[in-house]
Amino acid sequence: MNKQTETVLNYHNRTKHRLDRYAKGPESIDWEDQPDQFRRFSGCEIVTLPTPGAELEPLFADLDNPETIPAKPLTLANAGLLLELAFGLSAWKQFGPSRWALRCNPSSGNLHPTEAYLVSTGNDFIKSGVYHYVSHDHSLEQRCRFAGNLPGSGLLIGLSSVHWREAWKYGERAYRYCQHDTGHALGALRYAAAALGWTVELLAEWSDEDIAKLLGLDRTDDFKPLEHEFPDFICRINTHPIFDKITDREYSHPLPQGEGFQKCTNSDHLPHYNSKLLDIMSRLEQAQSGIWSGKADSLHAYHLYKWPIIDEVAIAASKPRTEEPEWHAVRQHTIKSSGTKTATAIIRQRRSAQQFDGKMSSLPQTDFFRMLAAVLPATAAFELWRWPPKVHLFMFVHRVEGLAPGLYALPRHNSALEQLQAATLADFDWQKVSEAIPLYHLSSGECKQIAKTVSCHQPIASDSAFTLGMVAEFSETIETAPWLYRRLFWECGLIGQVLYLEAEAAGIRGTGIGCYFDDSVHELLGFKDDKFQSLYHFTVGKPLEDKRLETLPAYGHLKDIAQ
Ligand SMILES: Cc1cc2nc3c(=O)[nH]c(=O)nc-3n(C[C@H](O)[C@H](O)[C@H](O)COP(=O)(O)O)c2cc1C
């Protein structure tokens, strides 16, 4: 095992919450001292984006077949709408003198470590360069002005994380949450793009160093110490479906990993690694010869506690340039969404439930099956995910029509079934309960209390209709490459984002659960080693609204400023 893998594994084990002790975090929190959620760079030219809040026609259900959605033209208003629906504000909440913003993308503890950048080249609606998105103001700060253009036009979105924002509250475990948030943000971007008739293409070949150079994250002097940003990923926004042009796909035979996957081995339309490298080089050249401006403002918090292990794991899990395969799941018909609202309405109304109605009547089985079908890899939401799935679901079912309360499993890939069966308790019965989705019954019995206990005693895990753990194919993945640790969490975050939106579409609500007792969950399922690890939990049910909280419009404050 190499040193980086060892560091990652050590980090993972050390940041497990246990029944008798939580992972290391601050002993006290000064709530007045919370890091600023909104980063700004002083000294940049500002591009004000057109008024947020525009509606789009497509229904949420239409996003199952995004190729049927007419693509909106690439304009400043539509690029702004993409950013708003992915990372913008969705509401303000007020309780007494406290007021806080919510966003279309969720975040552990609402701390929002994720920063978003737009990189434009050759578009006539904005000067070519690198821009930082300020969700509070719905504006762009121009960090870099490119001297020249590349052939054609292009729009990239890059994400980065300020780990310290999250560590301020959660200490050492925070790095995991930042990765979940990145996965959620990727999901949020996918839904926003699909509503506009656009697609998101992950440029997975890029190294972290490349991303840092392009986005200016390596410009150390532009950031306060400890408040720097770590690169996450770069993706291309295609204003046409990327796969509809492919006429000459040549595929290898279905993989040993199981049916339903195809590897594109050759196509004029899927450029090879060398041309991808050329693209990286020319984009970096643009950034390096460009004119940079602005310095990040302080996040205004006192760095009382320091968590050096976060920088250590971030370095050990940093990604080199890689040649990535072109895997795509073959789209399969899913169970139809019963939702009738528009995609923009669902995206903007997404919230985390803080309490559930523990006496709710059962969740209709069709809604439950639909939610699970939506997280299978052969759906439109996972088309951007270029790798066979490594994350599978184990569910505590409390209240679902026609299903006995108990434990269930949803392997997201057939090939994982046998390995999961072998790794879990011998008395699980693994009876398939649906023809439409690979859902298996494991054992019957009330599991509200145990779900609550292993979820750091949170009632949201027991008062819901169901709670689930996302179990990743862990040790083999990390041993292949330590940076894949982050990708596992991103996959979990992406699944979580699908569940959040699906729950809203079904008229109920979800909540991500980052706080759970890792090894208690493993013990419950029978895992004896780290071949599989549970990396994220999620719960869905009928929410109870906190009537004490006032809800204010997302961008009302912009009108106040304008007047
Ligand atoms: C990775 C992640 C972990 C979370 N963990 C918990 C949790 O353990 N308990 C909880 O009540 N909420 C949890 N949440 C919900 C957040 O607190 C919530 O997203 C945040 O307050 C913003 O609110 P919103 O989702 O309504 O926009 C989590 C969210 C994410 C994305």
- Cβ(182) to ligand 1 under 6 A? no
State whether the beta carbon of 177 lies less than 6 angstroms from ligand 1.
yes
Residue 515 in contact with ligand 1 by CB distance below 6 A: yes
Smallest CA separation from ligand 1 atom 7, residue = 513
State whether residue 164 is helix, strand or coil.
Answer: helix
Cα–Cα distance, 12 to 524 (Å, whole number): 19
Is there an atom of ligand 1 within 6 Å of 509 CB? Answer: no
Q: Is the CB of 181 under 6 A from ligand 1?
A: yes
CA of 29 to the centre of ligand 1 (A): 18
User: Which is it for the CA torsion 279, 285, 290, 296, positive or negative?
Assistant: positive
Instruction: Tell me the C-alpha distance between 538 and 513, whole Å.
Output: 5
Atom 31 of ligand 1, nearest CA residue: 107
Strands 250-251 and 230-238: unpaired
109 in contact with ligand 1, CB cutoff 6 A: yes
Radius of gyration in angstroms for the set of CA atoms belonging to the chain, rounded to a whole number:
22
- Does the C-beta of 500 come closer than 6 Å to ligand 1? no
User: What ligand 1 atom has the least distance to the C-alpha of 105?
Assistant: 27
Max Cα-Cα span within the chain: 67
Q: Which of 513, 516, 534, 549 to mutate to test the pocket of ligand 1 (most atoms within 8 A of CB)?
A: 513
Distance 512 CA to ligand 1 centre (A): 5
* 510 CB within 6 A, ligand 1: no
Q: What burial class does residue 333 get, using C-beta atoms within 10 Å of its C-beta: 0-12 exposed, 13-18 middle, 19+ buried?
A: exposed
Task: Check if the beta carbon of residue 33 is closer than 8 Å to that of residue 124.
Answer: no
Ligand 1 mean position, distance from CA 107 (Å): 6
For the purposes of burial, counting CB atoms within 10 Å of the CB of 349, is it exposed (0-12), middle (13-18) or buried (19 or more)?
Answer: middle
Q: Is 61 helix (H, G, I), strand (E, B) or coil?
A: helix
514, two tokens: 């980052």
Q: Per the structure block, which two tokens stand in for 87? A: 């990372």
Residue 247 is predicted with a pLDDT of 32
Alpha carbon distance 93, 551 (integer Å):
5
User: Which ligand 1 atom minimizes the distance to the CA of 493?
Assistant: 1
**Whose C-alpha lies nearest to ligand 1, atom 20?**
110
Strand arrangement of the beta sheet that strand 509-513 belongs to: 431-432, 440-444, 406-410, 391-397, 466-473, 532-541, 509-513
* pLDDT at site 171: 97
Distance CA 176, CA 109 (A): 13
Determine whether the shortest distance from the Cβ of 497 to ligand 1 is under 6 A: no
Provide the residue-wise pLDDT of the chain in tens; the chain has 563 residues: 899 999 999 999 999 999 999 999 999 888 888 999 999 999 999 999 999 999 999 999 999 999 999 999 999 999 999 999 999 999 999 999 999 999 999 999 999 999 999 999 999 999 999 999 999 999 999 999 999 777 888 999 999 999 999 999 999 999 999 999 999 999 999 999 999 999 999 999 999 999 999 999 999 999 998 899 999 999 999 997 554 433 322 222 233 334 455 554 444 445 578 889 999 999 999 999 999 999 999 998 777 888 999 999 999 999 999 998 877 778 877 799 988 999 999 999 999 999 999 998 899 999 999 999 999 999 999 999 989 999 999 999 999 999 999 999 999 999 999 999 999 999 999 999 999 999 999 999 999 999 999 999 999 999 999 999 999 999 999 999 999 999 999 999 999 999 999 999 999 999 999 999 999 999 999 999 999 999 999 999 999 999 999 999 999 999 765 55
Please count the other Cβ atoms lying within 10 Å of the Cβ belonging to residue 335.
19
Cβ(461) – ligand 1 distance below 6 Å: no
**C-beta 460 within 6 A of ligand 1:** yes
Ligand 1 centroid to Cα of residue 100, in Å, is: 14
- Beta strands 295-296; 327-329: pairing state: unpaired
What pairs with residue 157 in β-bridges? 118, 235
- Which of 17, 98, 108 is the pocket-test mutation for ligand 1 (most atoms within 8 Å of CB)? 108
106 C-alpha vs ligand 1 centroid, how far in Å? 6
- Expressed in angstroms and rounded, the spacing between residue 155 Cα and the centre of ligand 1 is 30
**In angstroms, what is the span from residue 21 Cα to ligand 1's centroid?**
21
Please name the residues in contact with 210: beta carbons below 8 A apart, sequence gap of 6 or more.
Answer: 234, 280, 284, 321
| Residue 312 confidence (pLDDT) | 98
Among 427, 409, 425, residue whose Cα is nearest residue 417: 409
pLDDT value for 256: 31
User: For residue 511, which amino acid is it?
Assistant: T
3-state secondary structure 246-285: CCCCEECCCCCCCCCEEEEEECCCCCCHHHHHHHHHHHHH
Q: Is 197 in the pocket of ligand 1 (CB under 6 A)?
A: no
- Could you tell me which of 125, 330, 386 has the C-alpha nearest to residue 239? 125
Q: Is the CB of 180 under 6 A from ligand 1?
A: yes
Establish whether residue 351 lines the binding site of ligand 1, counting it when its CB lies within 6 angstroms of any ligand atom.
Answer: yes
Q: What is the pLDDT of residue 254?
A: 30
371-423 pLDDT, tens per residue? 999 999 999 999 999 899 999 999 999 999 999 999 999 999 999 999 999 99
pLDDT in tens, 50-102: 999 999 999 999 999 999 999 999 999 999 999 999 999 999 999 999 999 99
pLDDT score at 253: 26
Q: Which residue CA neighbors atom 8 of ligand 1 most closely?
A: 513
Taking residue 560's Cβ as centre, other Cβ atoms within 10 Å add up to 8
Sheet holding 250-251, edge to edge: 250-251, 261-266, 327-329
Residues contacting 44, CB < 8 A, separation 6+: 132, 141, 142, 143, 293, 294
Residue nearest to atom 22 of ligand 1 (CA): 110
pLDDT of residue 563: 52
| Dist CA 457 CA 515 (whole Å) | 9
* Element of type H or E holding 9: helix 3-14
For residue 102, which atom of ligand 1 is closest to its CA?
27
Output the CA 353–ligand 1 centroid distance in Å: 9
Q: How far apart are CA 111 and CA 36, in angstroms?
A: 9
- State the distance between the two ends of the chain, measured CA to CA, in whole angstroms: 61
Instruction: Tell me what pLDDT residue 1 has.
Output: 81
Q: Read off φ and ψ for residue 309, nearest 5 degrees.
A: -65, -25
Ligand 1 atom with the shortest distance to the CA of 109: 17
Cβ of 379 below 6 Å from ligand 1: no
